[in-house]
Amino acid sequence: MKAYVARRLLALVPVALVVATVAFVLIHLAPGDPAAIIAGPDASPDDVQRIARQLGLDTPLYVQLGRFYGRLLRGDLGQSIFLRKPVSEAILDRVEPTLLLTVFATLIAVAIGVPSGVISARYHNTGPDQAFMALALVGISVPNFLLALLMVLLFGVRLGWFPVAGYVPLEYGWLGTLRSLVLPAAALGLVQSALIARITRSSMRDVLYQQFIVASRAKGLSERAIVYKHALRNALIPTITIIGISFAILIGGAVVVETIFNIPGIGRLIISAVLRRDYPVIQGVVLCVAGVYMLVNLLVDLSYLVIDPRVRYR
């Protein structure tokens, strides 16, 4: 087991190298130039060139790539062009809102998705099942920016229960933070919950037709115990996988929702970096997100050990 974890962690290194190289090459191949953005709309081509020279962007790409590798070996992600601080610091600044938003959204998604999936499976083809699945279909189909804007309109503008935008950092009190995150977390969580509900339902349905469930019924166990104790635990593996994936996606930055709600998280960081071609920040964030993705996957795989004692890793 320890050897397995060590192997998986070691595998991070080549993946990180590939991700770093691909990210570097792709964004440098994309058109656009930070120097032109700094110089502003009325600047002459000479001014733009001068700024590009100051930023070291006039050197050949392979030289820049070499410098990038050199910095990576020293654990340095470089210096942001626009933020005037190290990329690692810029990322750390944004972790708090993104992490809280992700946890909050995932809690909402699980709290709604898992029970409604279970109920749907248990009362298969009845009124509640159809109602839940119709809602889930709507949930999957509605883009989260639309849901977010509708929620702003209703709960922010009309009812005034929550702020329309902005993030209150934890240092100013958790209640304010919670209030500022309710709408964005709901907008993200509701969409994810639809996916979780559908997966839970289908895996529960598979389990409920298996022989050990028939055996449990035959030995007289209550339906409640069968569904919640035996069937659910067996049906959880695909559900946990999908929760893990959606968590990883969210932590990589809920780009749209963070933009709409003006939350200064990883998503906003990457989107403004892309729009301004802040190359070091784009590279750094992509690398970190890839790392988090792999770690979450590893944790999901390890969680199977807890849920299903038959699983063994060597």
Partner 1 sequence: MKRSHVVCGVLGAVAWTLIASAIAHAQDKPRIGGVFKAAMIGEPPTLDPHTTTAVITQQITWHVYETLYTYDKNYAPIPMLAEGHSVGDKGRTYTFKLRRGVKFHNGKEMTAADVVASLRHWTKLAGRGKAIGKDMEGIEAKDPSTVALYLKEPMPALLVGLAHPNNAAAIYPKEVVDAAGDGPIKDYIGTGPYRFVEHKPDRHIKLVRFKDYSARPEPPDFFGGKRTAYLDEILFVPVPEVAVRLAGVETGEYHHGQQIKQDQYDRIKTMPGVVAQIIKPSAWSVAVLNHKQGLFTDKRLRQAMQAALDMEPIMAAGFGHKDFYRIDPSLLFAEQAAWYSKAGAELYNQKNRAKAQKLLKEAAYTGMPVRWITTKEYEWMYKNALVAKQQLEAAGFKIDLQVVDWATLVQRRNKPELFDVFSTGFTFNPEPAFTTVVECNWPGWWCLEDKDRWMESIRREADPKVRRAMWEKVQILFYEDVGRVKFGDYFSLVVNGKGVKGLLAVNELPLWNVWLDK
Structure tokens at 194: 């639809």
- DSSP annotation of 79: B
Distance CA 257, CA 183 (A): 10
- DSSP annotation of 228: I
- From the CB of 163, what's the least distance to partner 1, in Å? 6
- From the CB of 180, what's the least distance to partner 1, in Å? 11
Question: Quick one: which of 269, 288, 294, 300 contacts partner 1 (CB under 8 A)?
Answer: 269
Write the CB contacts of 238 (distance below 8 Å, at least 6 apart in sequence).
199, 202, 203
Kindly state the number of chain residues that form the binding site for partner 1, as judged by CB under 8 A.
Answer: 48
x/- contact string, 108-147, with partner 1 (CB under 8 A)?
Answer: ----------------------------------------
- From the CB of 148, what's the least distance to partner 1, in Å? 9
Question: Quick one: which of 54, 59, 210, 222 contacts partner 1 (CB under 8 A)?
Answer: 54
Residue found under tokens 């690692």 = 88
Distance CA 163, CA 227 (A): 41
Beta bridge partners of 86: 79
- From the CB of 209, what's the least distance to partner 1, in Å? 47
44 near partner 1, rule: CB under 8 A: yes
Beta bridge partners of 16: none
Which segments of the chain does DSSP mark as H helices, in order?
2-10, 12-29, 34-39, 45-54, 61-73, 87-122, 127-141, 144-151, 174-208, 211-218, 223-225, 232-251, 255-260, 266-276, 279-307
90 near partner 1, rule: CB under 8 A: yes
Question: Quick one: which of 23, 37, 147, 204 contacts partner 1 (CB under 8 A)?
Answer: 37
Q: Which stretch, 88-96, 212-220, 240-248, 300-308, contacts partner 1 (CB under 8 A)?
A: 88-96
Q: Which stretch, 60-68, 118-126, 164-172, 296-304, contacts partner 1 (CB under 8 A)?
A: 164-172
Distance CA 146, CA 143 (A): 6
Q: Which stretch, 1-9, 66-74, 80-88, 130-138, contacts partner 1 (CB under 8 A)?
A: 80-88
Structure tokens at 47: 């001014």
Residues making contact with partner 1 (CB under 8 A): 30-34, 36-48, 51, 54, 82-84, 90, 93-94, 149, 152-153, 156-157, 160, 163-167, 259-262, 264, 268-269, 272, 275-277
